[in-house]
């Protein structure tokens, strides 16, 4: 059996751990730059606050009901996520836990006897709640896709299931599939859902009765094949080992307000480049291609919340590198190439690709070999920046004023990562 453990409105739960006064009150969390609502507590859902809608549209409703609003505090969420996953690793063993996203993970229960499954699933939930304060739901079934089905139903009927649902008999699986619409199946997007509905496949149960070859043909080949096998209870998605190195690293942000001068954009891009280079060094890699893109603000007022098309360009470096200074230079000259005077921009991003391990960088005959002396400097910079204070040390190209910085009007303290922002008790 496989379990999936999913945190209930994770970002809201993180805020609530340190704000017991908000325990049963409506809470929402906004995306970067306070643009959209990305997490809602059950109470906020009950009032009718929509998901992923722009904040300004929901504002009247939010003010009327006194909903507490938070800007996203990723320092806190990242730390709390680690705590949840670590708790599970301590309980079940490292090899049985597959972190799927910031708030979800698969747990292999193959070694647990059948009659003990529910007990184990329930204690997983209780333990995470006790150790971290985060409320979670657990779905258990023979396959990953079915465990997702179980998890969704567990979350939907919290009062009945107590947030734990185990599908351990064919009858229970059948019932659960009947209660799940095709668009709610893990891996079925909007387009496939429409296609399935047209041919009379409405629920997951209907789909599970379809022929494997039919799904192979109509649901995207191997992916559909795996999906249908999983729905029929045959394991075809295995526990995966974590992604150790990423193939592409990107850092992109919206500006706090539209930016019109080239220097601000250069500073922003230099800063994103430093961030991306840090990520690159964290996985002991170097990149050979750097791309920069900017997104101009649409002139039309109606499209205020839609992105304009992004304009981008890339440079191939002579030698793969992970040194911030070697990456900032081409990034900034790309900005010069892309920038048009008179336009205002709302977003920029940097992407590093062609990633190789930094101990296997191809040398270039015509470049001086710097023997990784730069890497030593970078490690020192990372060390200083990583111990608590962001960007104490940075390249001058990143600027000092940062007028383009993101808006974070409702930011909560970083309770778990900063000495001077600890939660107070009295």
Q: Is 103 left (phi over 0), alpha (psi -120 to 50) or beta?
A: alpha
222 binds other proteins (CB under 8 A): no
- Which range binds other proteins by CB under 8 A, 136-144, 308-316, 338-346, 416-424? 416-424
| Residue 345 · residue 256 · CB < 8 Å | no
Q: Which of residues 60-89 bind other proteins (CB under 8 A)?
A: 82-84, 86-87
- Which range binds other proteins by CB under 8 A, 21-29, 257-265, 330-338, 403-411? 21-29
420 binds other proteins (CB under 8 A): yes
- Which range binds other proteins by CB under 8 A, 2-10, 15-23, 259-267, 282-290? 15-23
| Residue 16 · residue 43 · CB < 8 Å | no
Instruction: Report how far Cα 105 is from the mean position of its chain's Cα atoms.
Output: 13
CB of 203 to other proteins, least distance (A): 35
Contacts of 154 (CB under 8 A, 6+ apart): 137, 138, 139, 161, 163, 164, 165
User: Among candidates 21, 3, 10, which has minimal Cα distance to 134?
Assistant: 10
Looking up tokens 């969704």 gives 152
- Cβ closer to other proteins: 73 or 416? 416
301 binds other proteins (CB under 8 A): no
Size of the site for other proteins (CB under 8 A): 30
- Cβ closer to other proteins: 18 or 186? 18
Instruction: Report how far Cα 45 is from the mean position of its chain's Cα atoms.
Output: 21
CA angle, residues 411, 416, 419, in degrees to nearest 5: 90
| Residue 350 · residue 273 · CB < 8 Å | yes
- Cβ closer to other proteins: 18 or 395? 18
Q: Which long-range contacts (CB under 8 A, 24 or more apart) does 191-196 make?
A: 192/219, 192/220
The site string for other proteins over 110-139 (x = CB under 8 A, - otherwise) reads: --x---x---x--x---x--xxxx------
- Cβ closer to other proteins: 211 or 420? 420
Residues lying near other proteins in the complex (CB under 8 A) are found at 20-23, 82-84, 86-87, 90-92, 112, 116, 120, 123, 127, 130-133, 415-416, 419-420, 422-426
């Amino acid at each position: 059996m496989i379990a999936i453990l999913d945190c209930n409105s994770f970002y809201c739960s993180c805020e609530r751990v340190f704000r017991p006064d908000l325990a049963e009150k409506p809470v929402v969390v906004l995306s970067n730059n306070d643009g959209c609502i990305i997490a809602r507590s059950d109470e906020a859902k009950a009032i009718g606050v929509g998901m992923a809608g722009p904040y300004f549209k929901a504002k009247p409703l939010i003010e009327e009901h006194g909903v507490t609003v938070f800007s996203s505090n990723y320092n806190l969420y990242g730390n709390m996520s680690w705590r949840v996953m670590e708790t599970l690793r301590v309980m079940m063993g490292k090899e049985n836990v597959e972190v799927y996203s910031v708030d979800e993970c698969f747990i292999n229960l193959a070694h647990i006897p059948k009659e003990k499954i529910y007990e184990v699933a329930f204690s997983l939930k209780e333990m995470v709640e006790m150790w971290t304060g985060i409320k979670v739901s657990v779905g258990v079934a023979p396959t990953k896709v079915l465990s997702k089905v179980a998890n969704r139903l567990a979350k939907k009927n919290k009062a009945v299931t107590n947030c734990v649902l185990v599908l351990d008999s064919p009858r229970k699986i059948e019932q659960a599939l009947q209660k799940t619409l095709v668009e709610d199946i893990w891996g079925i997007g909007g387009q496939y859902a429409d296609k399935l509905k047209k041919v009379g496949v409405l629920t997951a149960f209907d789909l599970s009765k379809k022929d494997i070859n039919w799904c192979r043909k109509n649901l995207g080949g191997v992916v559909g094949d795996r999906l249908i096998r999983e729905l029929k209870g045959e394991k075809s998605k295995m526990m995966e080992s974590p992604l150790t190195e990423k193939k592409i690293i990107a850092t992109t942000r919206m500006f706090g307000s539209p930016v019109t001068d080239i220097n601000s954009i250069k500073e922003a891009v230099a800063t994103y480049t430093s961030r991306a280079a840090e990520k690159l060094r964290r996985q002991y890699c170097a990149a050979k291609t750097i791309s920069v893109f900017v997104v101009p603000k649409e002139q039309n007022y109606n499209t205020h919340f839609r992105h304009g098309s992004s304009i981008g360009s890339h440079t191939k470096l002579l030698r793969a590198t992970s040194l911030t200074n070697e990456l900032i230079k081409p990034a900034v000259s790309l900005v010069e190439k892309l920038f048009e005077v008179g336009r205002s921009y709302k977003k920029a991003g940097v992407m590093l690709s062609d990633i190789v391990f930094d101990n296997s960088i191809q040398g270039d005959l015509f470049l001086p070999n710097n023997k990784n002396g730069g890497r030593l400097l970078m490690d020192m910079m990372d060390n200083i920046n990583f111990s608590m204070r962001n960007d104490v040390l940075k390249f001058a190209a990143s600027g000092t004023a940062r007028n383009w910085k993101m808006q974070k009007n409702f930011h909560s303290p970083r309770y778990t990562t900063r000495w001077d922002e600890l939660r107070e008790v009295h």
